[in-house]
Amino acid sequence: MKKFFSTKRLFIIILIIIISVGLIGGSTFIRKNKSTPLFIQQFGNDVVAFTSKIVVVPTRGISNFVKSTGNLLNTYKENDHLKKQTDKLTATQVKDEAIQDENKKLREQLNLTKTLTSYNQINATVVSRTPSAWQRQLIIDKGQNDGIKKNMAVVVNKGLVGKIIEVNRNNSKVQLITDNNPDSDKFAVQTSNKGKTVNGLISGTSSSSGKLVMGSTTTKTSLKNGNKVITSGLGGITPKGLYVGEIYSSSKDSSGLPSKIYIRPAANMNDIDVVTVVSKNE
Amino acid sequence: MIKDTKITLIFVIGAFLSFFLDGTITQIFNLQFDNTFLMVPYLTIMWFVMAVIFLKDYDVKIMIWSFVFGYVYDSYYIGIIGIFLFIIPLIVFLTRYLLKVVNPFFFSSILIFFIDITVVMSISYCLDRLSKIASISGSPFLVFVLWPTLIFNILIYAIMYFPIQKLYNFFKIEWEN
């Protein structure tokens, strides 16, 4: 052991530790404060993302084949169920169109062209996912060139999944809402019961059950399980009305405030193939 | 030390493939059981450990490549530079050190790989705690992440050991002729 930690080796080890901590600190700072990473990093990421198609495309082909075979077995049952839903859907769609039309006219009368609920959409495919136990990040195949900016909200058809944290030329990184990073910005969400609105923030995931935790609530309104939770549009970046999930349980602390509300996310965070990046109309 | 560009080429291509497979496997196969047990593939680490073992007598500059792939790994997957940039070279160094003590047969090399993965996970956990990426505490990390990951990676190592050995041997023999 005495030989292993010779003076030269010890010096190198200490030097490496210092450089490593310095680099980590520096890149965390850049990631938090700048909209895009350094040029070298961005260039490297773009090249890697482009080359990754060699592996990604065939693997996705195989996985899609397996998935579609599995789906085939469920088709009959699903078809029966879907037929019933279609009738309902048409009625809702027609009503929705009428309401949207009315809404537009009313907005014009009020000179309100941009509201919290209007947004643009960019579709993207998920290329890869960070191989890590605690970092829940996706890498998608659209970037700066397609108009993606940092902090935009990311949804799948069922609901909110995360936000953009790093933008390169032709790819970007998405941080899922289940990521527990205490440093990242939180989503402002709201839910309502009997006409009363409760605002709060998504503060992370409970590690045991995989449910989202909604904190920073300020009202005493009691909430029912199953109430829908949507983004509130407060904070200015995320549009209003993106579906997050429904309330699973809420626990009160001793002062009577609902201290923690657990939300069952609508989207399955472990199976995301295609996402939509949502930006506010400007 | 034997100089061989073909072996180097195979090593680099394989490193790239395993690097991309790390992300694709995590994306496509849901490596999470019961929302608690998490398995993380470390194919890049596996490829480097195997290269150190199989290409002992070859002049491949694995150390330099380990810095390159460490940087790419940090930049592309994690977004924070300085974690795998030093972990992968450390693993190359550690494996070389262990090879002086242990003869690399199938089972003994599994033990080397076991130590390597434990070191990788522990250091990356500590550094991720430092940079506030990871928020899980020590004992859940040991129970729910470290053990499943070790089992998963060692299984893959055991499956891939002989095919990769064959692959290198195939090109080595061809070169000698």
Q: By residue range, what is the domain housing residue B80?
A: 5-176
Q: Which residues contact A144 (CB under 8 A, 6 or more apart)?
A: A36, A167, A168, A169, A170, A172
Contacts for A207-211 with beta carbons within 8 Å, 24 or more apart? A207/A180, A207/B136, A207/B140, A208/B36, A209/A262, A209/B35, A210/A178, A210/B35, A211/A248, A211/A262, A211/A263, A211/A264, A211/A265
Number of domains chain B is built from: 1
Of the candidates B21, B135, B145, the beta carbon closest to that of A181 is on: B135
Nearest CA in chain A to B85: A20
Sign of the alpha-carbon dihedral angle for B170, B171, B173, B177: positive
**Which residue, chain included where needed, has tokens 């390169």?**
A168
A 10 A CB-CB count for A123 gives: 11
Task: Report helix, strand or coil for A227.
Answer: coil
- A173 CB within 8 Å of a chain B CB: yes
pLDDT in tens, B160-172: 999 998 888 888 7
Distance from CA of B37 to the nearest CA of A (A): 9
Residues in chain B within 8 Å Cβ distance of A204: 135
Distance CA A51, CA B47 (A): 19
DSSP character for A145? G
A 10 A CB-CB count for A225 gives: 12
Task: Report helix, strand or coil for A195.
Answer: coil
Nearest CA in chain B to A22: B82
The whole-number pLDDT of residue B91 equals 92
* pLDDT < 70: residue spans in chain A: 1-4, 112-117, 207-209, 219-221, 253-259, 281-282
Residues in chain B within 8 Å Cβ distance of A165: 79
CB contact under 8 A, B149 and A132: no
Distance CA A191, CA A188 (A): 11
The whole-number pLDDT of residue B47 equals 93
The whole-number pLDDT of residue B139 equals 83
The whole-number pLDDT of residue A258 equals 61
Chunk chain B into consecutive blocks of 10 residues (it has 177) and report each block's average pLDDT, rounded to whole numbers. 80 90 83 74 92 85 90 88 89 90 87 92 87 78 87 92 89 64
Which positions 199-228 of A are in contact with B (Cβ < 8 Å)?
Answer: 204, 207-210
CB contact under 8 A, A181 and B132: yes
Question: Vertex A75, ends A73 and A76: CA angle to 5°?
Answer: 105
Cα R_g (chain A), whole angstroms: 23
